[in-house]
Structure 1
Amino acid sequence: MKLTDDQITQFEEEGWIFLPEAFSSEEIAVLKAEAERIYDEDRPEVWRETSGAPRTAFAAHTYNEAFGILGRHPRLIEPLEQVFGEKVYMHQYKINAKASFTGDVWQWHQDYGTWARDDGMPEPRAMNISVFLDEVFTFNGPLMLIPRSHRHGVLQAGHDISTTSYPLWTLDNDTVTRLVDEGGLVVPTGKPGGVLMFHGNLVHGSAGNITPFPRKIVYLTLNAVSNYIRTPTRKEWIAHQDFTPIEACEDDALTKFASTYKHAAE
Structure 2
Amino acid sequence: MKLTAHQIEQFDRDGYLFFPSIFTPAEMKVLLDEVPKLYALRRPENVREKDSEAVRTNFAAHLYSEPFARLARHPRMVEPVVQLFDEQVYMHQFKINGKMAFAGDVWQWHQDYGTWMNDDLMPTARAMNVAIFLDEVNEFNGPLMFIPGSHKQGALPAGHDTSTTSYPLWTIDNDAIRKLVDKGGIVAPKGPAGSMILFHGCLVHASTANLSPWNRVAVYLSLCAVSNHIRRFKRPEYIAHRDFTPIAPLADDCLLKPYPVDLPWKDGTPSSAYETEKAA
TM-score range, shorter chain: over 0.9
Q: Secondary structure of the equivalent of 1:36?
A: helix
Cα distance in structure 2, aligned partners of 1:35 and 1:141: 19
Mean alpha-carbon deviation: is it higher for 7-16 or for 249-258? 249-258
**Structure 2 residue 50 is the aligned partner of structure 1 residue 37:** no
Unaligned runs of 5+ in 2: 260-280
**Structure 2 residue 22 is the aligned partner of structure 1 residue 22:** yes
Cα deviation, residue 93, structure 1: 0.1
**Structure 2 residue 76 is the aligned partner of structure 1 residue 69:** no
Map 1:82-231 to 2 at 5 A: 82-231=83-232
Q: Secondary structure of the equivalent of 2:257?
A: helix
**Structure 2 residue 247 is the aligned partner of structure 1 residue 246:** yes
Q: Secondary structure of the equivalent of 1:18?
A: strand
Q: Which has the higher helix share?
A: 1
Mean alpha-carbon deviation: is it higher for 84-93 or for 249-258? 249-258
Q: Which amino acid aligns with 2:129?
A: N
Cα distance in structure 2, aligned partners of 1:53 and 1:126: 29
Deviations 1:28-69 (A, max 9, x none): 001001012100111100010021111010000000000000
Deviations 1:78-124 (A, max 9, x none): 00000000100000000001110111000000000000000010000
Cα distance in structure 2, aligned partners of 1:129 and 1:2: 14
Unaligned runs of 5+ in 1: 259-266
Cα deviation, residue 232, structure 1: 2.1
Cα deviation, residue 257, structure 1: 3.8
Cα distance in structure 2, aligned partners of 1:257 and 1:180: 45
Q: Which amino acid aligns with 2:222?
A: T
Deviations 1:189-230 (A, max 9, x none): 010001101000000000000000110000000000000101
- Runs (4+) of structure 1 moved beyond 6 Å? none
Deviations 1:152-184 (A, max 9, x none): 111111000000000000011100011000100
Cα distance in structure 1, aligned partners of 2:4 and 2:136: 25
Q: Which amino acid aligns with 2:173?
A: D
Cα distance in structure 2, aligned partners of 1:257 and 1:28: 15
| TM-score (norm: length of structure 2) | 0.91
Q: Which amino acid aligns with 1:166?
A: Y
